[in-house]
């Protein structure tokens, strides 16, 4: 039996020849060269490293590789290819919800996680859904508007 | 020669959006409202008596050359937030939850301080027209999310009457771009943008279709009262941007925590080159100021910063961000492209003092620090049982 | 797998735990902050038994590796526990973190802990060849210190239903509305029958090395009428004032924590006095 950890990454079956204690964030960036996830804090506070694991929002800095056996992981690079992303991207652009962009990949994954659970969220439900994603540039309200718009424009997708 | 060597165990510090401005303006605004109380006057009434006017002297012996629109801005802030009525109404509260409302009035210098722009930076920009009649902007200023590629391109596009798609500005490479100075001091749109505006005007006049052309513009220092670095006198800035912020809070006397229930920002930034980008600066800066005034505690103990991780240095989350209402006052400045002045730093300045003023109003106290934390407030609130019965 | 074990049953997990030096990984959200990579991890997230929630007539049984976001969706979980879980961190953390991890980590500021203390929760501790139940107040013995032996795993959290459905008061005080470690927290339950207080318990979090619960003070109030309770409020607050001695740290001050804890207690007692049965 191999020492590799087998899981699904952005729809593809992959093997990672890495220790079980390694951090998913580091493996994504350095082993798989997917640099959409950022290390903003390394403490699970800022959300810049957020991914979807089995469809649920997770901070990849808090995930040890050994826990991923058989799981499905989606990063922003995988999400980018979907129709839902196109709606979210357009909404974020229109609302001016991106400034420096450091929080943006995580913020978009949180947006997807929120809308897939709650396709028509209220203002406070959006804020709660994004509460684990810190942004210093925008003041958040323009991001909340982007999510509202995506929910409206993408009716039927979520 | 006497040499004195000092050893310090405090951590070196640096600029925080406003470069000393946020700290000073908090102190000035809070002193002013405390003086108002001593004078037996409403805070805004007292401050209005001391508004500067166009033509008057600045604190460094310079001059306010441009119109000062504070009266108009305060009126707008008042009408949007209902400040005056609430200021009166919230003075007579009982019960566990207490409301408060506070206003701050502030300015920030635009562009580099003193004579540095003329003597050290000596900015130069280059505008290239390619043979296919597309344009490239060559400056050293960097878009880091504040939208500089958009704003500088819009300035050039508007002068040349071209669609935005024909203008290119890529991440600066010092092999290719002239030194147009650093991306600091709220100078990129106003100072560098002005140079590009001039270059574009010349290009438009001398346009030759199908030919490569390049125009450079060098910084020209406006005629001002010269800045004297030895006496710190003269015009510190060519012009100023202005702001009036209002913050409304609801304080819980049980926990000394406050909910920010409303935030309003009225700004004079000259003109807005891009509404969305300006809105991003206004809302982002205002929330940063609210964090700065209410929760971003950072203390040193024995030379070590206690809040030394993202877990412990507390900034607002999306759930902490209140609704922010903003409005712009037009006040075009001839030294800026299409009248634009600096905007990057100003928007942080006002919400911290306005927040403190609101908490002072709600709790009927004087505060003297930011962040003004629940831990600071609890010291000044009476035993909850007594106040509740009042 | 290098540096990790991923058993599918509790028995396999206990065997690995008995034979190797490992660190337990349930949700990983406390462990991964520590960046401990020299000892292999024993992953508990693939053991179905540890993620079950069951109940019988008198008791609720929560698997120690139950994830917060799942517990929030489960009807069996008491509202007071849900309220404390909902205040923890952020959606991404709640999608991974576990109730067993909160207990095993034993932070003085753990958010589920005051609730579990007030509910008289017990823990079922398993080793390869033993099992025992211990009250949570005896399990946590200091900041980040429990009596969990090197070869043991928490299997279940056991909550008597007696207190699970009665009126409660829960308040967390943090520096912001999300992603905040508690400055202090307060959990209280009470039951009024025929004008008398037939049940009363409260616990304070993040104001001591472990959760503070004082059953001797609670005894002062049991059996009393609402009028008698009203007359005892100042006395009760004074008694708690003697046992609540918080510290200054990077998050808050001793003075603030103590004042607000007692304010919340006072408010809770007022709520009881003004309650309709």
C-beta separation of A136 from B283 below 8 A: no
Mean local confidence (pLDDT), A21-44: 97
Q: Does C242 touch chain A (CB under 8 A)?
A: no
Same domain, A149 and A107: yes
Could you tell me if A74 and A9 lie in one domain? yes
Please report residues of A whose CB lies closer than 8 A to that of C40.
Answer: 20-21
Q: Does residue A89 share a domain with residue A144?
A: yes
Residue C276 reports pLDDT greater than 80? no
Q: Please tell me which residue of chain C has the smallest CA distance to A48.
A: C92
Distance from CA of residue C216 to its chain's centroid?
20
Give the residue from A59, A78, A97 where a domain finishes: A78
Name the residue among B283, B340, B349 with its Cα closest to residue B316. B283
In a domain? residue C42: no
- What is the per-residue pLDDT for B152? 98
H or E stretch covering C117: helix C113-118
Domain membership of residue A67 (yes or no) is yes
Residues 69-98 of chain C with CB under 8 A from chain A are 69, 89-93, 95-96
Query: What pLDDT was estimated at residue B384?
Result: 40
What are the chain C neighbours of B306 within 8 Å (beta carbons)?
A: 250
Q: Both A69 and A87 in a single domain? A: no
- Residue C191 within a domain: yes
Structural domain of residue C125, as residue ranges? 48-163
Same domain (yes/no): C156, C175: no
C70/C172 same-domain check: no
Residues of chain B with pLDDT under 70: 382-390
Same domain, C173 and C230: yes
What digits encode the pLDDT tens for the residues C91-140? 999 999 999 999 999 999 999 999 999 999 999 999 999 999 999 999 99
Please indicate, yes or no, whether residues C147 and C55 belong to a single structural domain of this protein. yes
Judge whether C222 lies within some domain.
yes
Three-state SS for B76? helix
- Long-range contacts at A79-84 (CB < 8 A, ≥ 24 apart): A79/A52, A79/A108, A79/A109, A79/A112, A83/A157, A84/A112, A84/A115, A84/A154, A84/A157, A84/A158
What fold is seen in the domain B21-113+233-378? Aldehyde Oxidoreductase; domain 4 (3.30.365)
* pLDDT recorded at residue B94: 85
- Structural domain range at position A47: 5-78
Same domain assignment for residues A128 and A74: no
């709660």: which residue's tokens?
Answer: A128
Per-residue pLDDT tens over the stretch A78-88: 999 999 999 99
**How many separate domains does chain A show?**
2
The answer to whether residues C134 and C176 belong to one domain is no
Q: What does the pLDDT average to over A96-113?
A: 98
C133 touches chain A (CB under 8 A): no
Q: Where are the domains of chain B?
A: 21-113+233-378, 116-218
Q: End of a domain among C131, C163, C195?
A: C163
CATH of the domain at A64: 3.10.20.30
pLDDT > 90: what percent of chain A? 97
Chain C interface, best mutation among A66, A112, A125, by max C CB count within 10 A: A66
Domain end among C163, C192, C222:
C163
We report the CATH number of the domain holding residue A139 as: 1.10.150.120
Mean pLDDT of A6-35: 97
Q: Give yes or no for residue C277 having a pLDDT over 70.
A: no
Q: How many separate domains does chain C show? A: 2
Q: Are residues C174 and C243 located together in one domain of the fold?
A: yes
Please tell me whether residues C154 and C184 are part of one structural domain: no
pLDDT at A47: 98
Share of chain C above pLDDT 70, in %: 100
Nearest to B310 among A43, A124, A135 (CB): A43
pLDDT band with cut points at 50, 70 and 90 for residue C262: very high
Looking at the complex, does the CB of residue B171 fall below 8 Å from at least one CB of chain C? no
**Cα(B294)–Cα(B314) distance, integer angstroms:** 10
pLDDT at B14: 82
Pairing assessment for the beta strands C23-25 and C41-43 based on DSSP bridges? parallel
Same domain, C254 and C215: yes
pLDDT, position B390: 45
Kindly state whether residues C174 and C158 are assigned to the same domain.
no
Residues C268 and C182 in one domain: yes
Residue C186 lies in a domain: yes
On chain A, the residues whose CB falls within 8 A of the CB of B146 are 99
Same domain, A66 and A22: yes
Is it the case that residue A2 has pLDDT exceeding 90? no
Q: Which of B280, B286, B311 sits opposite A142 (nearest CB)?
A: B280
Mean pLDDT in residue range A21-47: 97
CB contact under 8 Å between B280 and A138, yes or no, is yes
Residue B304 phi, psi (nearest 5): -115, 135
Q: Is residue A25 one of the residues assigned to a domain?
A: yes
Looking at A54, A78, A102, which one is the last position of a domain?
A78
pLDDT at B380: 86
- pLDDT tens-digit series, residues A129-148: 999 999 999 999 999 999 99
Which of C163, C197, C228 corresponds to the end of one domain? C163
Residue C61 counted as domain residue: yes
Across the interface, whether the CB atoms of C92 and A47 are under 8 A apart is answered yes
Q: Which CATH number is associated with domain B116-218? A: 3.30.365.10
CATH code of residue C150: 3.30.465.10
> Is A158 within a domain?
no
Per-residue pLDDT tens for C81-100? 999 999 999 999 999 999 99
Name all chains with 3 or more CB-CB pairs below 8 Å to chain B. A, C
pLDDT, position A1: 42
Q: Residue C43 domain-assigned?
A: no
């Amino acid at each position: 039996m191999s020492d590799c950890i087998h899981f699904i990454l952005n729809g593809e079956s992959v093997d990672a020849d890495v220790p079980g204690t390694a951090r998913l964030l580091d493996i994504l960036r350095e082993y798989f060269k997917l640099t959409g996830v950022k290390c903003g804090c390394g403490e699970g506070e800022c959300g810049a490293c957020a991914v979807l694991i089995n469809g649920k929002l997770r901070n990849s800095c808090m995930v040890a590789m050994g826990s991923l056996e058989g799981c499905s992981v989606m990063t922003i690079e995988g999400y980018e290819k979907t129709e839902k992303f196109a709606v979210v991207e357009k909404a974020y652009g229109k609302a001016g919800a991106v400034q420096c962009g450091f929080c943006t990949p995580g913020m978009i994954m949180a947006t997807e996680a929120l809308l897939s659970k709650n396709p028509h969220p209220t203002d406070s439900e959006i804020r709660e859904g994004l509460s684990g994603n810190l942004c210093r540039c925008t003041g958040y309200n323009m991001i909340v508007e982007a999510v509202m718009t995506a929910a409206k424009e993408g009716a039927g997708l979520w | 020669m006497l040499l004195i060597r000092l050893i310090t165990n405090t951590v070196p510090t640096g600029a925080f959006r406003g470069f000393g401005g946020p700290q000073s303006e908090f102190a000035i605004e809070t002193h002013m409202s405390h003086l108002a109380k001593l004078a037996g006057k409403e805070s805004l009434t007292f401050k209005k008596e001391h508004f500067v006017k166009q033509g008057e002297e600045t604190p460094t012996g310079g001059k306010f050359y441009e119109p000062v629109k504070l009266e108009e801005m305060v009126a707008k802030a008042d009408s949007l937030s209902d400040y005056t009525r609430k200021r009166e109404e919230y003075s007579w509260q009982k019960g566990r939850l207490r409301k408060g409302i506070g206003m701050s009035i502030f300015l920030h210098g635009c562009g580099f301080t003193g004579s540095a722009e003329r003597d050290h930076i000596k900015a130069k920009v280059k505008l290239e027209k390619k043979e296919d009649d597309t344009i490239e902007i060559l400056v050293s200023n960097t878009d880091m999310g504040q939208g500089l590629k958009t704003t500088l391109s819009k300035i050039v596009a508007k002068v040349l009457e071209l669609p935005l798609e024909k203008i290119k500005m890529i991440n600066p490479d010092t092999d290719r771009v002239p030194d147009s100075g650093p991306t600091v001091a709220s100078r990129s749109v106003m100072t560098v943008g002005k140079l590009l505006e001039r270059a574009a005007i010349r290009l438009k006049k001398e346009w030759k279709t199908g030919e490569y052309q390049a125009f450079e513009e060098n910084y020209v220092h406006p005629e001002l009262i010269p800045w004297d670095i030895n006496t710190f006198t003269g015009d510190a800035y060519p012009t100023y941007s202005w702001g009036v912020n209002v913050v409304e809070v609801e304080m819980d006397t049980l926990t000394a925590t406050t909910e920010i229930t409303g935030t309003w920002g009225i700004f004079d930034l000259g003109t807005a080159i891009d509404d969305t980008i300006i809105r991003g600066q206004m809302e982002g800066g205002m929330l940063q100021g609210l964090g700065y005034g209410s929760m971003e505690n950072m203390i040193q103990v024995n030379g070590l910063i206690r809040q030394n991780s993202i877990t412990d240095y507390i900034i607002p989350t999306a759930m902490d961000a209140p609704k922010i209402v903003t409005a712009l006052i037009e006040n075009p400045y001839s030294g800026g492209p299409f009248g634009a002045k600096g905007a990057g730093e100003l928007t942080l300045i006002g919400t911290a003092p306005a927040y403190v003023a609101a908490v002072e109003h709600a709790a009927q106290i004087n505060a003297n620090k930011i962040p003004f934390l629940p831990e600071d407030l609890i010291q000044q609130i009476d035993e909850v049982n007594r106040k509740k019965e009042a | 797998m290098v540096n990790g074990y991923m058993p599918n049953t509790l028995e396999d997990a206990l065997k690995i735990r008995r034979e190797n030096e490992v660190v337990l990984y349930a949700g990983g959200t406390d462990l991964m902050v520590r960046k401990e990579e020299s000892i292999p991890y024993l992953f508990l997230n693939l053991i179905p038994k540890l993620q079950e929630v069951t109940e019988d007539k008198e008791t609720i049984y929560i698997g120690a590796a139950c994830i917060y976001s799942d517990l929030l969706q489960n009807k069996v979980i008491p509202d007071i526990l849900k309220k404390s879980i909902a205040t923890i961190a952020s959606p991404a953390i709640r999608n991974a973190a576990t109730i067993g991890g909160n207990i095993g980590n034993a932070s003085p500021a753990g958010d589920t802990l005051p609730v579990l203390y007030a509910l008289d929760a017990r823990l079922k501790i398993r080793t390869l060849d033993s099992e025992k139940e211990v009250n949570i107040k005896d399990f946590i013995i200091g900041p980040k210190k429990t009596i969990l032996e090197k070869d043991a795993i928490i299997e279940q959290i056991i909550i008597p239903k007696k207190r699970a459905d009665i009126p409660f008061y829960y308040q967390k005080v943090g520096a912001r509305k999300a992603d905040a470690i508690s400055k202090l927290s307060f959990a209280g339950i009470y039951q009024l029958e025929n004008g008398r207080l037939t049940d009363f318990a409260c616990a304070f979090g993040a104001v001591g090395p472990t959760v503070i619960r004082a059953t001797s003070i609670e005894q002062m109030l049991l059996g009393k009428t609402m009028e008698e309770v009203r007359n005892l409020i100042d006395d009760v607050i004074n008694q708690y004032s003697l046992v609540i001695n918080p510290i200054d740290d990077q998050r808050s001050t001793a003075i603030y924590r103590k004042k607000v804890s007692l304010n919340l207690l006072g408010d809770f007692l007022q709520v009881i006095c003004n309650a309709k049965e």
